[in-house]
Chains A and B, each alone.
Chain A
Amino acid sequence: MKLYKKEGNIVQILSFPNETAEKSDYLLIEDADAGKALIAQVIDVQFASIPGVLEELLRSLPDGGEIMQGEDFDPLEIAPHITYIQDASLLICKIRATIENGENLSPTSAWLPSRSQSTIKKLSIPKLLKLARINGELPIVLGGTKDASLLTIDASSLDGRLNIITGKKETGKSHLSKLLISSLVGYKATVVVFDLNGEYLSLGMTADGKKNVLYDKIHILTPAQNFKVALKQLNLHVLLEILIHALHLPGTSAREFRRIWQSLKERNMLTLHDLGEAIRNWHCNQHVRDALFSRYYALVNSGFFTDNVAEATLLEECLFRAKEQGGAIIINLRNTSPIDRQIVVEYLLGKLVELLTSWKLKAVFLFAEEAHLYLRETYWDDIVTRMRHFGIFTTFITNQPDTIRENIYRQADNIFLFNFTNEHDLEVVSRAARVDAETVKSIARDLPPHHCLVLGKVVKDFPIVVKVRALDVKTMGETRLFFKDLN
């Protein structure tokens, strides 16, 4: 391989057919005289612009587009040399770092290695991980890299971070989420999962349906079934959030509701029945009453609210148990209507903030699948800014990257990117601050299923492609198929 060109932090390297380098491979460009080396990643492989190639191709097909038949008497055997030159490739590489004195890494690309004297060789992933010190005391094995080594990240690099797992359908996003959740729970972390399709319900079961080591740490809460809330437990502030944001209660009506609530609370009458009666008998405008009644019935019909306090203790119990020994609270939103979903999420986020503010909980890892389906607009900013300080560390999982707002990408610390072929999707993801657009667009487009481009702090900003390892967990959330049983 030969160094051909450097423009900004892009280097072009001429590679010959016997030197195999592919997209996402790392190369070490060593300048012995300078005592420095560049670490560069191949982001694209192109044909080298060899003069005369077009003529060569054109003259091989003059016979009506078919290859012309003939004999070549080539006694010096020049033909293999022609092929060798023709098949030369140009590796477009992004400079990721500079190594000085063989070990000090810095993210600079400000120097120019010698074109004639530099040696270029492939940098194996284990060596890169060692140089970048991507290891730690809480290892999570994500899977295998191309050179058959394991990619191990540190669980603490997810701590306090905002993560995004994205890719098109059936590429392995949920599988990776399960792997991260299992690993975090293994390290006694508290994890809350908004499970839209019931995919995480069997996280405590092995593939053959037996209990696994996490079985006792997986708590499944299904709204209106084993997950209910009593009005007496509710903070007015949380309920108003639900009414205003989930049920779109106008401001005037919200003010009346606040008065009703305070009146009932003073009389220790915070029950669903008394609330209904209070709205009926409250002296107010008829339109306000109607508005309050419609929201009241929405709350009642959700089945999520109860007057029985004993029925409404499971969430806190689970959270406290998870705090002690680690655990995942799976909020099963599979059969929940969109409005009820929003009620549940509003309640849960309010509750988490309440528990975290009062230091009853230390921190929570929140996994939110397709969050745009239940998260209100204003919560996005809240989650990445305010809630992070309370200790809610979110991982968004989506196959529609444009449903996540741009500022979330800009602030994301880690991105686990699966295959995307759609230019628009890639364009959206490439806005992430921790990676350059060329890398995202070029590498993500060619990722096979179950292969993930890991970007961000977990890999110390060295994008690495990994084949996510298999997990012995019962698969749930499979698509129901019409033709499945017909064969």
Chain B
Amino acid sequence: MLSVALPKGRLGDKVYRLLESVGYSCPEMLGDTRKLVFENEEVGIRYFLVKPSDVPIYVEYGAADIGVAGRDILLEYSPDVHELLDLGIGVCRMAVAAKEDFRDDLTRPLRVATKFPEIAKRHYAARSREIEIIKLYGSIELAPLLDLSDVIVDIVETGTTLRENHLRVFDEILPISARLIANPASCRFKGEEIGALAGKLRELTEKK
């Protein structure tokens, strides 16, 4: 039995559809239910839906053998997991954005509002730029508009929210997509099952 941690929301739905299409269906997932764990013994799969940022934690601690997490989350938390596959979905980019008329004042530390302090720290450390991190949990775009921060480091999908708020991307940090991750110990004891699932997903993503 393989335990799979899926991120709640659109990405999780997409991943489930992918897994369903390669034979790992679990019909009760689609029902209107408050259940937390869904199981299909016949195909040997158990799913649970968790907060996207919690997926790597479930996998790292072995509560799930595999899971799907965005590269942003993996780079932010650096979990001890194996990254088996780039699923090529949930594609976006991590970027530095600011008000359209932003000019960097190099005489003082840059105030950076973000949900991803580790990624932001690494990005600016590589450029030897002193920063002050302002950790936020949502509505990041608001920070530069209210002069809470100079810039934001955040995920940009289409850029519509930025444009509508007179913000623009100044620097691209890295491309993001959803990754299939696995617990390193599970890879050693359930290697065949995990390899079979990953192989089917790889075929599917390569076709696309």
A-B complex is real: no
